[in-house]
Chain A
Amino acid sequence: MIKHLFKLIWNKKKQNFLLITEMFISFLVIFAVFTSLVYYYRNYKKPMGFSYDNVWVINYQNAKKFQSTDSVTQYYATLTAMLKSMPQIKALSFASGNVPFTSSMNTTGLSYKGVSYSPVNYYQTGDGYRDAFSMNLLEGRWFNQQDVVSTYRPVVINASLKEQLFGNGSAVGQLISDNSNSSIKKIKIIGVVQDMKDKGDYLPSGMALYNRIDTGAMRWLGQLIIKVSPDADAAFESKLYKTVANYMKDASVEIQHFSKKRISTNKSTLVPITIFCIVAAFLIINVSLGIFGVLWYNINRRRAEIGLRRAVGATGNSVSAQLIAESLILATLSVIIGTFFAVQFPLLNVFNLQAGIYITAMLLAIVFIYLLVLLCSLYPGRQAAAIYPAVALHEE
């Protein structure tokens, strides 16, 4: 029977060529949609790795001129003390511009045992950073006062980076080197934290390296992160703002809430993907209507053939099954061609995504195409089953 169907398809190759092309392109479109959906979904399923509720950031651009590093240190120590005296503030830390939910990025490259790892997100953090974000420590410890005097630059890495560097082994105490500086600096791992999805719910954390802010960096830092108690309201925020702005007379100051920043960051991820999905959905509806129409028309054209088949003993169901099988064979041909192209993505490692994402997407796309074609041929197939042999043959 299958051979018979192939013959039918081959004899109408010109007509079927366009249908196959259409299904093939649809397959690629659906593959692209599923790849991004699977990618975002996988990221979404991972834990945030930190808490952003009641965490605020004070952005300041300080134009104040300092005489020496000591005076910088003194200046910010006074501010810190002032803020810490407020009962609503539970934890605070200065930080580099790439705080969670901002578009700001800072990356570096690392090398360990002759292998390079990049890009690695590079953060400057204070001792209170972990407490402010309630980050989960998996191994070792976070920075504290005793790190001022260490021989190596102490760093904390995240779980993704640890897995890349050491697999299941222990990371604490290991020495690695930072490639981004001209003179290679030895750095020492003192702790490992859980991945922190700081680019939003739908994007991966990537590899991360947390550094302790040194006194020299205080000149150019512009972010102060504070964790406040749940009862900190707008009145408190206004008071806090006055305090900070009054103290930093040469700065413009702004307070933002991470819970709000998260919403707008997620929005900027979701809006493009939503638009993409809407456009793809329209394309697919368009195509399915087209395929439906063409199949329907073809069946009308083949009334005589169908009538003949009925006359020589085919049942209505077997005729309709045959027509559906024909469309599914066309779908199979398109899926084979489509898979050939889709497989290139994991093979050539395009876009640097995990192969698993592509494979899941490919399987979903295959199922989707079959369902689509099945759906489009079901009704025309049923129609064909209703053709009476006498009527069909008479028409000819």
Chain B
Amino acid sequence: MDNQLNHSQLITDNSQLTTHKMIQLKNIEKVYRTDTIETLALSSINLDIAKGEFLSIMGPSGCGKSTLLNIMGLLDAPSKGDIRISDQKTDHLSDKQLAQFRNKKLGFIFQSYHLINDLQVLDNVELPLLYRDTTAKERRQLATEALAKVGLSNRIKHFPTQLSGGQRQRVAIARAIVGRPEIILADEPTGNLDSAMGNEIMDILINLNRNEGTTIVMVTHDENMAHKTHRLVRLFDGSQVQ
């Protein structure tokens, strides 16, 4: 109920939000080439995502939604087209600059969590801070705060393998938000979880979006989850249909 209310509130503000574009995709095309075959994974995608928006992307398997998310996350380069993130062009960045850009602006959440099993929860959460100029003390403090936000303060010395799926995904969220990025990209964050745990994760993301104003882009299979977000984009065979 609470969520629904919020949703409509934001939609009314939509006109205002579009003026602050967080992510702009223009004519994005992605072609995978092997020796013999060319596969068109994405074609002419145009998408603007406003600051503070919570967007979900849906579509059948293999429609290119993960590819699109990877391109937004600068993990993969498009074959054609332009990506601007907070009005900054990204096509000319070097490996080092890209790394810095991702570190400062973006946070990732994956379906299979991708936690480093050899590190304890706290060390996992600290990871993004390792690649910036921070002291060990600062890192510890920020990571503890982030873990508190996802309600895992009592698990910081555990190893990921000692946690349940939902707990692992919460650690992954803590890792994504610890560096206070403006954008969070989530690739089926609830895909490996049962519905109760999925809802828990979803609530955390919604609160994050509402309280911190973080822009969130989420790929999902689940209509229920998608409907909790501000806007839904559907992909089919690499093209935007809605």
A and B touch in the complex (CB under 8 A): no
Interface of B with A (CB < 8 Å)? none
